[in-house]
A and B are shown apart, each in its own frame.
Chain A
Amino acid sequence: MHIMEGFLPLIWVIIWFALSMPFVLYGIIEMRKLFKEHPEQKMILAVSGAFIFVLSSLKLPSVTGSSSHPTGTGLSSVLFGPSITSVMATIVLIFQAVLLAHGGLTTLGANVFSMGIAGPFVGWLAFKGMRKAKVGMTPSIFVAAVLADWATYVVTSIQLALAYPGASILSSFAAFATVFAITQVPLAIGEGILIAIFFDFLASSRPKMVATILKEKAGMATPESIGVAQ
């Protein structure tokens, strides 16, 4: 899903860098604050970053015949919000651009925007909305992870369509979205299942900490009340 090296015209390189940069910088500030105020949460932060590492490295084939990979940003988006997630996604994307020739340095801004900012933001928003609507914890996590993945690819398609409008931006968007979105449907669902299972484990073994991170009432933190294992 990463836009390949050199495949964005210079003007778009600049635009996406300019849009992503403040967000990532804000994320770094937030992360330092978290380290200072809640050092005990460091390990959960590390583990949600690890999910991005593992899942974004798994190239899996799909029925459409092309392969693609999940983003893994769901867990960290839900727990720590999009700004901190954008920092971790940036680390992964630099790793892949420099060592794997996957994605690229010139397209880093655009890729950070889709995978690190837009996707996590959509997932986080969906999660908050569903929790407000009293949807159970595990289903909310599942949906958030799936949407974070899909949104990433939708945004990538928009980015490519803007750079290569062809006949019209819409038809170009449709062309790119077909390449990505269809491939991504089963992947995102798989990602959602995996992250929901892991969250379930996390919430039942560290209910208090999860509740603190999510800033929900401590009373809600028993495994039963957050909808785990029912």
Chain B
Amino acid sequence: MSSMTKNKLLIYLTGVAALVLLFALPFALKPGAGFGGADDSAGEVIESLSPGYQPWFSSLWEPPAETESMLFALQAAIGAVVIGYFVGYIRGSSN
């Protein structure tokens, strides 16, 4: 049993290492590439396909850049709290 859990831990760790590598790689390959955003590049493609297109509706409210980062972080935090609560609940109730 303990060797099985150990094995599993190894698999988990390998998975996490692969994840980190996957997301760190772009920084190494293209330092300073920035967070342009694929959505914005799509906007450029639209511009080239249909020159002069004006978006006919704009966001009701656009947060300043820093607020936007904060709200993105908030969104992640809400999700992370729920996941953390769940994992804690499972751990606690199985003891």
Contact = CB atoms under 8 A, between A and B. Distances in A.
A53 B72 CA distance: 10
B89 to A, nearest CB: 7
Contact of A106 (B39, B40, B57, B91): B57
A186 B91 CA distance: 31
Main secondary structure of the interface of B (DSSP, over half): helix
Nearest to A165: B49
Nearest to A100: B71
Interface residues of A, number: 70
A51 B79 CA distance: 6
B34 interface: yes
Interface residues of B, number: 61
B79 A196 contact: no
Contacts of B91: 205
21 contacts: A1-B39, A3-B39, A4-B39, A4-B43, A4-B55, A5-B57, A5-B58, A10-B56, A53-B75, A57-B73, A61-B30, A61-B35, A68-B39, A98-B60, A99-B61, A100-B71, A101-B61, A105-B60, A160-B46, A186-B25, A193-B18
Interface of B: 4-5, 7-8, 11-12, 15-16, 18-19, 22-23, 25-27, 29-30, 33-43, 45-46, 48-50, 53, 55-63, 68, 71-73, 75-76, 78-83, 86-87, 89-91, 94
